[in-house]
Amino acid sequence: MKQSNDNKQNESKLSRRDFLKLGGALTIGVASVGLAAPLFRPLSGEQTQQDLNKFISTRKKDFVDYTRARAIPTICFGCTNHCGVIGWVQDGKVRRIEGNPLDPNSLGNTCSKTHGMISYTYYPERLLYPIKRVGKRGEGKWRRISWQEAIQEVGDRLKTCRESGHPERFIFHYGRDKTKGFTKRFTNAFGTPNRLNRRAICSSNRRVPLMSYYGRDFEWETQDMENTKYILNFGSNPMEAYQGGLYMMHRIQKARVDNGAKMVSFEVRPTATVNCSEEYFKVMPGSDGAIGFAMANVIIDEGLVDKAFWERWANISLAEIKEHIKDWTPEHAEKLSGVPAKDIRRIAIEFAKAAPHCTTMTARGSAKHYNGTQGDRGLRMLDVLVGNVGRKGGLCLTSGRMWGGGKYGQDGLPSVSQPKPKPPKPKAFTPGTAAYEDLPDDIKAKVARLDPQWQKKYQGELATPAEYPLSWHWYGMKVGQLVQPYIREGRAKVDVYMSYTYGAAYGYPEAKVCREVLLDEKLVPFHVAIDIDYSEHAALADMILPEATSLERWDPHSTNCYGLVPYTGIRQPLVKPLGEAREIQVIFRDLARHIGGGMEQYFDYENVEDFYKEWYKNVSAKIPGGWEEFKRRGIWQDPDRAKDYELYERPVPEKELLGSTVDPETGVISNTIKGKKRTVGIMMPNPETGEMEAVRGFPTPSRKIQVYDPVFPLAAKSAGLPEGDPNGNALPTLFTIPGFDELKEDDMILTTFKWNVHTQGRSSQWEFHAEIVHTNQLFINTRTAQKMGLKTGDEVEVTVQRPRGLTYRGGINEVVGVVRNRVHLLDGVHERVVCFAHAGGHWEHGAVARAENRESLPIKEPDSGLKKDFSNEIWWSKERGGTGNGAPMNDVLPINPSPLVGGQNWFDNICQIRKIS
């Protein structure tokens, strides 16, 4: 699979950079045409004011009048970033959103998606009343019911389930839950471990290497972008779609444009990040790891390793790693990836020489493959080799989760913790428990094969799938795409299925499986959906409860800060919920009271604000003016706190050393904290004096960076992988995706991506965003397409093959599905890749998302708060000669969890393209 990376691209880049360097000099003495004296004649003062007043008076009467609109800070909910924003409220309506300059992550910046909050709050087809189905499930016939009736029916069903002794048969399945543990409070109080998520769809494969190396995922690694000089980007797209993207994009652009930083991107298509890179290399999907191992070899061979750092912090010797990776050379990587060996060599050297002001950036592009977890472990090694970890301009780790409980990196921060009493965690399914005895025999056998540490934590196949122990070893990432298939197989039983802002019936791989299961009333006797709009998933419910939007409700906020000083923020209601929509905190409070049996004690509040005031009491105590001042600012950050550089070198606090023990062999310091034995640090020689000191280290079992991690072979054995399978290697390992080594001439790889104006298949009803992108045509390399006789706009048929490999396979058919779509030719796409965006082809979410000039909301009553109907303005509808909204492509992507970890291998799809004449 040879490919050419055009030299001309590098030459051109060089000339552009040279131009930039000369830019300042060139302007000297050159009369700048644009800045010549004004050509118009300034008018006199009185005339000026008259003209302005006249123009303002002829503007639409309802423009945002900032002389009387009120500005209230809150937290954005447009994507996963959750930036601090300011909402301008006029006449009881949110009219405008801008960035909150006090947010140390966004620094007051926002992207287009923040305006989506206005779209979804005032969308003409928003759900405003509880509704109950009257026809068959999925038929789309509904009647409006009262909240009393809704709480009564859902509450009764939940109560029966809970009192039956099988609380685990209540499944709570969510798409976007940023309540920071509030919904978990409900499921814990109920007693079910089945609070299921979509982490496997998103990021498991790139979180596992992070947790394995550094002990936690810290939300993400946090690159010190504003101080970096060199960014190696493997399939990450912060300029467009990445978690943390907004926080990174302005810092990266400053680093590049103002400080001369260089970014090199390895990708399959020209993403926004690629377009902002100094160099772009097209890579064969699934080969990023090969480049990482090759670069590691170069860095070692060239003597560019930061030996002091490696020897101090890596848990394996450099000699052993060198021996382990020696065959994975740049030439080998060229064969797999198509990136020239000479470029791999050159870039590895440039990267290492920029240390510590250099960093890697990995994401779905590198990780969402069958071999992606091990590949990312290889890429992670680069940072350790050059010693940029935790250093200025390097790859930093900063604590982002809700503060408190002695978590790593949070020393000195006020505890931010849910109000007491807190419900206990659901119990493990150990032999003798009703939940365990309810398991099918073949599942019991799988559980028996698990390592004892995991048997003790096992909570059923939905929350803790036995074949994917690494999806729940560090914390409950789970394997969301297996929930419906496992229910179909009888691995778990369901009494009540509650979905919460969820789009699996549209957006998941092989979404048709999800729909089939949801339509089967034997498998799913009752489905209640909580949502803000009529999604494909909610359309398959028995009842839908309308939720307040992010502009109408409370949520705590905390994430990793790219300014490297932890902060917290609060989402607060700017306006009252429209219609009869209710906050999740009110819905759950009322359900808990109805269910009773002790649940109600955890929801003992009348006013939702009081609950969050209590939650934030320790932060409020730090602020002059307390809670009211916190709400007025929306954000709090300790102004005196130092940046989170080199957390691992910080001393262990005295109080944690009192009564501690030190392992004589490893130097690991342990202590009993809150009744649990934990490691708190490691004895290390002072670099100058050589004297042994107690420092924090990393929150791993060895308190070092675990380049070598025995958890992988343990997991492989527990999951029943064959001996020697590379997924279970304790050292980072290179291998190819099954089937990729025998690709036929016309086999292509189908990959997906996300546009900058969309978010997780839940934004296609935002009118201004859908107007910019409403389809999902297939992007294909120009030369490849021309060989096939294709031109832009041609329709093709895509046949997707079922992947091989030792993981879940949704059937024996070799073909997952066939779909038709249009192609768009683009030079920057990899020669063997076709890619499409995850936003097209909706059949629900209303007229805008469907690009049809008719409404779909089953119950709609006039409400003055909503926008007028768009149904006559959708110029891209097919009726008006447009292209419509694209093809629902997710049905043909196979459910394909990666071994042990369960992360969806989005980009391993071998397919064939055929022109339809």
Partner 1 sequence: MSDLPPIPWESPINKSRSLKMKRAGMVIDLRRCIGCHACSVACKTENEVPLGHFRNRVRYLEQPDVETLSFLPLLCMHCQDAPCLKACPTQAPTRLSDGRVVINQDKCCGMKACISACPYGAIYIDDTSGRADKCDLCTHRTSLDLKPACVASCPTQTLRYGDLGDPEDPVAKYAKEHNAKPFKEDADTHPSILYIQQEKWMEKAAATGVQLSSEDNEIIYEQNGRSS
Binding to partner 1, residues 84-143 (CB under 8 A): 86, 96-102, 106, 108-112, 115, 118
Nearer of residues 98 and 438 to partner 1, judged by Cβ = 98
Interface pick for partner 1 out of 553, 769, 832, 842 (rule CB under 8 A): 769
- Which range, of 47-55, 371-379, 396-404, 592-600, touches partner 1 by CB under 8 A? 47-55
Nearer of residues 567 and 712 to partner 1, judged by Cβ = 567
Question: Which residues ranging from 554 to 593 are in contact with partner 1 (CB under 8 A)?
Answer: none
Is 49 an interacting residue with respect to partner 1 (CB under 8 A)? yes
Burial of residue 12, with CB atoms counted within 10 A of its CB: 0-12 exposed, 13-18 middle, 19 or more buried: exposed
Q: Is the peptide bond before 104 cis (omega within 30 degrees of 0)?
A: no
Burial of residue 121, with CB atoms counted within 10 A of its CB: 0-12 exposed, 13-18 middle, 19 or more buried: buried
- Which range, of 28-36, 446-454, 716-724, 796-804, touches partner 1 by CB under 8 A? 28-36
Q: Taking CB under 8 A as the rule, which mask of x and - marks residues 229-248 in contact with partner 1?
A: ----------xx-----x--
Minimal distance in Å, beta carbon 315 to partner 1? 38
Could you tell me how far CA 517 lies from the centroid of its own chain?
26
Minimal distance in Å, beta carbon 872 to partner 1? 9
Q: What is the largest CA-CA distance in the chain?
A: 90
Question: Which residues ranging from 513 to 542 are in contact with partner 1 (CB under 8 A)?
Answer: none
- Which range, of 21-29, 497-505, 700-708, 746-754, touches partner 1 by CB under 8 A? 21-29
Nearer of residues 48 and 813 to partner 1, judged by Cβ = 48
Q: Nearest to residue 72, comparing CAs of 468, 417, 574? A: 574
Alpha helices in 126-165 (DSSP H): 147-163
Is 864 an interacting residue with respect to partner 1 (CB under 8 A)? no
Nearer of residues 50 and 686 to partner 1, judged by Cβ = 50
Interface pick for partner 1 out of 29, 42, 664, 789 (rule CB under 8 A): 42
Q: Taking CB under 8 A as the rule, which mask of x and - marks residues 782-821 in contact with partner 1?
A: x--xx----xx-----------------------------
**Residue 71 DSSP one-character state:** E
- Which range, of 179-187, 199-207, 744-752, 767-775, touches partner 1 by CB under 8 A? 767-775
Minimal distance in Å, beta carbon 65 to partner 1? 7
Nearer of residues 625 and 811 to partner 1, judged by Cβ = 625
Nearer of residues 111 and 715 to partner 1, judged by Cβ = 111
Q: Nearest to residue 508, comparing CAs of 482, 534, 541? A: 482
Interface pick for partner 1 out of 806, 882, 912, 915 (rule CB under 8 A): 882
Could you tell me how far CA 375 lies from the centroid of its own chain?
19
Burial of residue 648, with CB atoms counted within 10 A of its CB: 0-12 exposed, 13-18 middle, 19 or more buried: buried
Residue 606 one-letter amino acid: E
Sheet holding 496-500, edge to edge: 142-144, 131-133, 543-546, 527-531, 496-500, 170-174, 195-196
Residue 645 one-letter amino acid: Y
- Which range, of 578-586, 666-674, 712-720, 781-789, touches partner 1 by CB under 8 A? 781-789
What does the H/E/C string look like for 581-635? CECHHHHHHHHHHHHCCCHHHHHCCCCHHHHHHHHCHHHHCCCCCHHHHHHHHCE
Question: Which residues ranging from 616 to 645 are in contact with partner 1 (CB under 8 A)?
Answer: 622-624, 629, 632-633, 639-640
Beta strands 70-75 and 84-90, pairing class: antiparallel
Minimal distance in Å, beta carbon 120 to partner 1? 12
Q: 453-474 burial, b for 16+ CB within 10 Å, e for fewer?
A: ebbebbbbbbbbbbbbbbbbbb
Nearer of residues 9 and 430 to partner 1, judged by Cβ = 9
Minimal distance in Å, beta carbon 728 to partner 1? 39
Interface pick for partner 1 out of 870, 893, 907, 911 (rule CB under 8 A): 870
8 Å CB contact between 816 and 800: yes
Three-class DSSP category at 16 = helix
Minimal distance in Å, beta carbon 813 to partner 1? 33
What's the token pair of residue 804? 């091989």
What's the token pair of residue 643? 């940046």
Is 917 an interacting residue with respect to partner 1 (CB under 8 A)? no
Nearer of residues 256 and 357 to partner 1, judged by Cβ = 256
Could you tell me how far CA 166 lies from the centroid of its own chain?
32
Minimal distance in Å, beta carbon 303 to partner 1? 34
Interface pick for partner 1 out of 2, 21, 29, 58 (rule CB under 8 A): 58
Instruction: Find all residues with CB under 8 Å of 179, minimum gap 6, and list them.
Output: 555, 556, 584, 585
Is 721 an interacting residue with respect to partner 1 (CB under 8 A)? no
Is 62 an interacting residue with respect to partner 1 (CB under 8 A)? yes
Q: Which residue is associated with the tokens 């932890």?
A: 566
Question: Which residues ranging from 724 to 763 are in contact with partner 1 (CB under 8 A)?
Answer: 756-757
Instruction: Find all residues with CB under 8 Å of 406, minimum gap 6, and list them.
Output: 656, 673, 674
At residue 113, φ and ψ (nearest 5 deg) are -70, -20
Minimal distance in Å, beta carbon 240 to partner 1? 7
Nearer of residues 131 and 773 to partner 1, judged by Cβ = 773
Within 13 Å, how many C-alpha atoms sit on residue 293's CB side?
Answer: 30
Question: Which residues ranging from 657 to 686 are in contact with partner 1 (CB under 8 A)?
Answer: none
Interface pick for partner 1 out of 835, 874, 889, 913 (rule CB under 8 A): 874
Q: Nearest to residue 220, comparing CAs of 527, 562, 663? A: 562
Q: Taking CB under 8 A as the rule, which mask of x and - marks residues 249-288 in contact with partner 1?
A: xx--x--xx------------x-xxxxxx--x-x------
- Which range, of 37-45, 488-496, 706-714, 894-902, touches partner 1 by CB under 8 A? 37-45
Q: Hey, which residues does 282 pair with through a beta bridge?
A: 267
Minimal distance in Å, beta carbon 842 to partner 1? 15
Nearer of residues 660 and 883 to partner 1, judged by Cβ = 883
Three-class DSSP category at 884 = coil
Question: Which residues ranging from 289 to 348 are in contact with partner 1 (CB under 8 A)?
Answer: none
Sheet holding 93-99, edge to edge: 70-75, 84-90, 93-99
Nearer of residues 269 and 391 to partner 1, judged by Cβ = 269
Minimal distance in Å, beta carbon 642 to partner 1? 13
Q: Nearest to residue 87, comparing CAs of 64, 71, 108? A: 71
Euclidean distance between CA atoms 312 and 785, whole angstroms: 52
- Which range, of 130-138, 546-554, 576-584, 826-834, touches partner 1 by CB under 8 A? 826-834
Question: Which residues ranging from 63 to 82 are in contact with partner 1 (CB under 8 A)?
Answer: 63-67, 71, 73
Is 475 an interacting residue with respect to partner 1 (CB under 8 A)? no
